[in-house]
Structure 1
Amino acid sequence: MTKQFTQIVLLIQEARGKAISAVNTELINVYWKVGAYISLQLQQAVWGEKNRNGTGCLYQKEPSGDKRI
């Protein structure tokens, strides 16, 4: 492998690592916000015991059908 090609691969790998890190940061932020929202709703008694036990279904299926959340 030539030196120039190796440098290109390293640049791509570095960018890929930064992109993965940015995505992970955003996922952590959104999960934190979801948790804070649910906690606030429970503290303010906006949601009852039925909702508290039903929050697990929120993580089973996203509206798009994606089950990875």
Structure 2
Amino acid sequence: MRGPRNRVRRVTVPGTGAELGHRVTGGLHDVPGVTWLDAPAPEDVAECATVFAVELDGEPDLYRGTGRT
């Protein structure tokens, strides 16, 4: 899967404004790691679908390589 090489500055739930914790694991050189989001609190989850707003550091810079082989 391709992903952003940018640093994630902030993740929020737009409907409630709740801010979610996040962390990146793995990655090597220019291959980005996996960004994990903390689950929102039950009161921040919508009945049908919950949307997350991910604020990146700068314009999106997507990794387009093949990863590690």
Shared topology, TM-score over 0.5? no
What is the TM-score when the length of structure 2 is the normalising length? Answer: 0.29
Point out which structure has higher relative CO (alpha carbons under 8 A, 6+ apart): 2
Structure with higher Rg: it is 1
**Higher helix fraction (1 or 2):** 1
What is the TM-score when the length of structure 1 is the normalising length? Answer: 0.29
